[in-house]
Copies of this chain bind each other. A is one copy, B any other.
Amino acid sequence: MKLTDAFARRLARHVRLDAEQESALTAVSARERVFDVGDVVVERGDRPTEAFVVCEGWAARTVSLSGERTQIVNFMLPGDLFDLQVLAGGPADHTVRALTPLSIRSVEREEVLRLLAAGSPLAPALWWAVVQEEAILREQVVRNGRRTARERVAHLLLELHERLRSAGLAEEESFVLPVGQAAIADALGLSYVHVSRVLSHLERNGLIARSRGLVTFTDRPEIESMCGFSGSYLGAHRGPLPAEPF
């Protein structure tokens, strides 16, 4: 489990890793890199020759528009694999930035291609990661498009919790939120002022509790039904993928 504990744990939770796959995972040669809060990992316009796995810390894919407007397209948490797509050639149309102190491992293009080749023991796991990333992105569109601010905040908190949990990084009903409310706002297309109000509201209504960075769900059935959250898009389907080349 050299590559990333979180990555391995997350994979293992959704696709059963056999011995062959585990050894393939530890055989991946990856260079570690470390960033500080605010550092840029991938610059818009770059043509990276590597994909990345987050080891520790949070990062975000962001796009900046004119006039101080910033959108966080998605969060990257420990265990997440990202930028597989850019390997296909084009320049990155976004910026990846560290939201906390961040440690990632980069995997060379050639290595990724080898892993993706049909027949490789890890190919299914990589496919699964790519597909899940897209599912999260689609959910982000729905959330920001047709939900109220309260629903958005609640839904995002639930998603982050579930993702951290599947990497073994959160308790049953609580998790550490290492980013400020401004980041939440930029992900949800809200103002940070409103995010603050909504969080207070959720707390006053007994749906969550907060102390420093720790968020606790104090009434899970209620908060889930209030925002229509169902973790199924995060890969609730346990068990191995179809055995095929994929």
Q: Which residues of A contact B (CB under 8 A)?
A: 61, 63, 65-66, 69-71, 73-74, 85-91, 93-94, 109, 113, 116-118, 124, 127-128, 130-131, 134-135, 137-142, 144-147, 187-189, 228, 232-233, 235, 237, 241-242, 244-246
Contact = CB atoms under 8 A, between A and B. Distances in A.
Contacts of A139: 93
Contact of A142 (B65, B88, B237): B65
A145 B113 contact: no
A88 B90 CA distance: 24
Which 9 A-B pairs give the minimum distances between C-beta atoms?
A: A145-B189, A71-B145, A71-B146, A89-B241, A69-B146, A88-B131, A71-B142, A85-B131, A88-B127
A88 B138 contact: no
Contacts of A246: 87-89, 113
A130, A131, A146, A233: residue with the most chain B Cβ atoms closer than 10 Å: A146
Contact of A113 (B69, B140, B245): B245
Contact of A94 (B118, B138, B245): B138
A130 B130 CA distance: 11
A109 B134 CA distance: 19
B147 A144 contact: no
